[in-house]
Amino acid sequence: MTAPAHAFTVTEHVRWSDVDAASIICYGAYIRFFEIAETELFRRIGMPYGEVFERFDFWLPRAAMHFEFKSPARLDDELEVRLWVQQIGTSSMRLQCEMARTDDDRVTAVGHVVLVAVDRSSLSPRPLPEPLVDALGPYRALATTAAPAG
């Protein structure tokens, strides 16, 4: 999978805490990179998490997470994290991610996360707030396919 031109991007270095004894990134560290991009995407659209959860009285827990590892990243490599909204359903969205070394653009990992909007008190699924869906528009995949359940 290749990131679309309209993907949101951030860069981050592989840090000491991200690697194993061979100085190769541990698979779990990719979650940190994804969360940095996700957090910054929401900040970019004018809805930082600290505000959006209060404004709409909901949470966005992860219902699914999937990553595939393509090539190793090593200590001090700079990675570009490319993130876009692949699908939006009634109460869920799928964020697609691709990570690549900035020096040679070699993809190190690809993956996706499904977030589900839930009511803060009952934790029951609820519709995604329309202003949030609208704000994510510039980062949505151009071709729409079946939306995730919800």
CATH number of the domain to which 100 belongs: 3.10.129.10
**CB–CB of 30/99 below 8 Å?**
yes
Calpha distance 137→126 (Å, rounded): 20
Please report the pLDDT score of residue 147 as a whole number. 45
Structural domain harbouring 134: 8-139
Instruction: Tell me the pLDDT band of 142, cut-offs 50, 70 and 90.
Output: confident
Please report the pLDDT score of residue 93 as a whole number. 98
Instruction: Please give the tally of structural domains in the chain.
Output: 1
Dump pLDDT digits (tens) for 46-89. Answer: 999 989 999 999 999 999 999 999 999 999 999 999 999 999 99
Q: Rounded to 5, what percent of the chain is helix, strand, coil?
A: 25, 35, 40
Output the pTM of the full model: 0.88
Count the alpha carbons within 13 Å of 76 in the hemisphere toward its beta carbon. Answer: 0
Does residue 100 form part of some domain? Answer: yes
Calpha distance 60→40 (Å, rounded): 15
